[in-house]
Homo-oligomer: A and B are copies of this chain.
Amino acid sequence: MSQQAGTRRRVGIADVAARAGVSLGTASKALNGRGTLREETRARVRAAADELGFAPSTVARSLLSGRTFTVGIITTDSYGRFSIPVMRGVEDSLGVGEMIAFLCDSRDDPIREAHHLRKLLERQVDGIIVAGRRTDPRPPLSENLPVPVVYAFAPSNDPEDCSVVSDERGAARLAVEHLVKTGRRRIAHITGPQSHAAARERAAGAADALAELGLAMAGEPMFGSWTETWGRFAAAQLLRGHPDVDGVFCGSDVVARGVTDGLREAGAALPMQVGVVGIDNWEVIAEAARPPLTTVDLGLEQLGHRAGDLLLAAIDGHPAPGVHVVEGHLVVRES
Contacts and interface: CB of A to CB of B under 8 A. Distances in A.
Max chain B Cβ within 10 angstroms of own Cβ: one of A58, A60, A100: A100
A78 B301 CA distance: 12
A124 interface: yes
A148 to B, nearest CB: 14
Interface residues of A, number: 48
Contacts of A123: 58-59, 70, 100
Q: What DSSP secondary structure best describes chain A's contact surface?
A: mixed
Q: How many chain copies does the complex carry?
A: 2
Interface in A137-195: 144, 146
Interface in A94-113: 98, 100-105
A283 to B, nearest CB: 10
A1 to B, nearest CB: 11
B58 A284 contact: no
A122 to B, nearest CB: 5
A118 B119 CA distance: 24
Max chain B Cβ within 10 angstroms of own Cβ: one of A84, A98, A144: A84
Contacts of A288: 227-229, 254, 257-258
A68 interface: yes
B122 A56 contact: yes
A78 B105 contact: no
**Ordered nearest first, which 7 A-B pairs have the shortest CB separation?**
A228-B288, A103-B103, A58-B123, A59-B62, A78-B88, A59-B63, A58-B122
